[in-house]
Chain A
Amino acid sequence: MRRIVLAFVTTVSALVMLFSYHTSTMGGGVPTTAVGTGSSTQTQSQTAPDTTTSGSAGGSGSGSGGDGTYTGDSVDTRWGPVQVQITVSGGKVTRAVAVVFPSGNRRDQEINGYALPVLAQEAVTAQSAQIDHVSGATVTSDGYVASLQSAIDQAHL
């Protein structure tokens, strides 16, 4: 089950990355986000998020949906059903928890404490430490993406 927990962590971290650089057109289909990254010597304006995305058909171009809590669909994975809940504040995901997950898993608090700070290393480090990427043990998200995505869709982010 450990793999599930950590898979979730990495999913959340990816999501957090998406929302950290949230633009506007996540409404339909797969989220596409353009982020502007820059070296530490660039000015703030150069490192600000880009405002364009493309290829996300059905994107509304509108701003974020309402703040609140959104629960995704329950999605079956090979290890059991998974259901994810996100909390949105100011148009960003501030919390993401698995409210249903394969049994035997008691590490959700650890997930919550860990997930948000993880924040997509590659995007963060690109702006901070003169490091472009981090190579690490593969992050996967398996079935979690589907439930997360449905929560996002409900939030109209």
Chain B
Amino acid sequence: MTTLTMPRRAWVEQVMGLPISIHLRGPSVRNVDVDECVQATYDELRAIDLLFSTYRPDSEVSRFNRGELALADAHPLLREVAVLCDLARRRTHGCFQSWLPNPDGGTWWDPSGVVKGWAAERAAHRLSRLAGHDVSVNAGGDIAVSPGRYDSTPWRIAVEDPDRRGPGGPPLAVVPLAAGGIATSGTSARGLHIHDPHTGRPADKVRAVTVVGPSLVWADVYATAAMVMGPAALDWLESLAEYDGLVVGPQGVQATSGLSATVTQG
């Protein structure tokens, strides 16, 4: 059975303010245990949202920000993410920051930039327990892929052209991904929502950055950091082991060496 005829199914739910879709390929996608595992995965994503949402006043993150919860007393997953946030800041020379300005003019801890990729990757790992299935999880355009044991043909991931969003628009690149993650940060969907933590100014030097590598968590973090780095992003991405990137900026579309073959537009 080839990939073209491999049965596949997809689910989508709104969780964490995002459409999160789960895609499975494999001979048994219609089995009951598949449905059960998918629902358990969404259950966990909702539980993660309850812990981490900055919109829910009763989330642990909100309680932490109000000073009502010490990190030491927080849920183990919260502490895990706190460690990742700290690591993300250090690995990006401070260009990724989870302490962000809040609407009241102060700062608060907003780990959303890590949580989304981390949760999607966690979901993909959980689903990979379904023996014989390839898994991909798409959290609002950031995608985690776990290989199955039956068919590990790469998923084909189109990278959106920020100037031509929407279906049918020619992609900037098509990246084959058998395992790992791919994430895009940019200004096209949410405007200038990324700020340079060093200056507080919007990151507006490049318009979009896509990063691909073994982990969606880090692909996502590096894409955000590269937006902040602007003109220096491409060289920095090239310096990262195991990760590659695509930068859309004043010089057009530029790719690190590992991705240049995937680019379909100049």
Contacts and interface: CB of A to CB of B under 8 A. Distances in A.
B146 interface: no
A30 B138 contact: no
A148 to B, nearest CB: 9
B123 to A, nearest CB: 14
Task: Give the contact-size bracket for chain A.
Answer: 35 or more
B122 interface: no
Interface stretch (A58-66, A81-89, A100-108, A137-145): A137-145
B165 interface: yes
Given A17-B12, A135-B158, A7 B167 contact: no
A39 B4 contact: yes
Given A35-B9, A133-B158, A135-B184, A126 B23 contact: yes
A136 B186 contact: yes
A118 B19 CA distance: 14
Given A32-B42, A126-B23, 7 more contacts: A30-B42, A42-B5, A117-B167, A118-B165, A135-B183, A136-B141, A145-B14
Interface of A: 2-3, 6-7, 10, 13-14, 17-18, 30-39, 41-42, 46, 50, 52, 54-55, 78, 114, 117-126, 129-143, 145, 149
20 contacts: A6-B188, A10-B19, A10-B140, A35-B9, A35-B10, A38-B8, A55-B38, A121-B160, A122-B138, A133-B136, A134-B171, A135-B175, A136-B141, A136-B160, A137-B184, A141-B14, A141-B17, A141-B19, A142-B17, A145-B14
